[in-house]
Amino acid sequence: MSDLAKQSKRKAWRRERAHLRVRARVSGTAARPRLSVYKSLHYVYAQLIDDLQGVTLAAASSLEPTLKSQLGNGASNVEAAKLVGATIAERAKEKGIEKVVFDRGGYVYHGRVKALAESAREKGLDF
């Protein structure tokens, strides 16, 4: 196994462990759902989850055609994360959700994760 593959495996393992620590403390309810963030190499995803019922209440991702068209080809991932954060906040407002619990998914609160969170806060989500 090459050094790059080992490093990639260690990073994935570290993120999974960090996510387990976060999930041990963070749980969503219908009144205050969990805002879960996942980021792949190309896209950013966000979901509002009621963990008591095991239901996703709302979701948004930079993969959606409407958001992709707003971003264009030259948009950075941070811009995409800001747009996803604003979209998930709008969808939460439509469902009457004001307060959420933030689940950073084991990722460091920096870059795309931070941009998504700050954008959602600017649009009125409280966490």
Domain range enclosing 19:
3-122
Examine residue 107 and state whether it is found in any structural domain, yes or no: yes
Q: From the CB of residue 71, how many other CB atoms can be counted at a distance below 10 Å? A: 17
Find the Cα–Cα–Cα–Cα dihedral 90, 94, 99, 105, rounded to 10°.
-60
pLDDT at 38 over 90: yes
The per-residue pLDDT for 1 is: 81
Beta-strand pair 44-50/101-103: unpaired
- Check pLDDT > 70 for residue 98: yes
Which range among 14-23, 58-67, 73-82, 116-125 shows the weakest confidence by mean pLDDT?
A: 73-82
Residue 70 lies inside a defined structural domain of this protein: yes
What dihedral angle (degrees, nearest 10) is formed by the CA atoms of 95, 98, 101, 103?
60
Q: pLDDT at residue 48 above 70?
A: yes
pLDDT band at 74 (very low <50, low <70, confident <90, very high): low
Q: How many domains does the chain have?
A: 1
Residue 73 has pLDDT above 80, yes or no: no
Q: What is the pLDDT of residue 25?
A: 93
Task: State the Cα–Cα distance between residues 69 and 48, nearest whole angstrom.
Answer: 23
Q: Please give the model's pTM, rounded to 2 decimal places.
A: 0.90
Q: Which residue has the higher pLDDT, 45 or 2?
A: 45
CATH code where residue 69 lies? 3.30.420.100
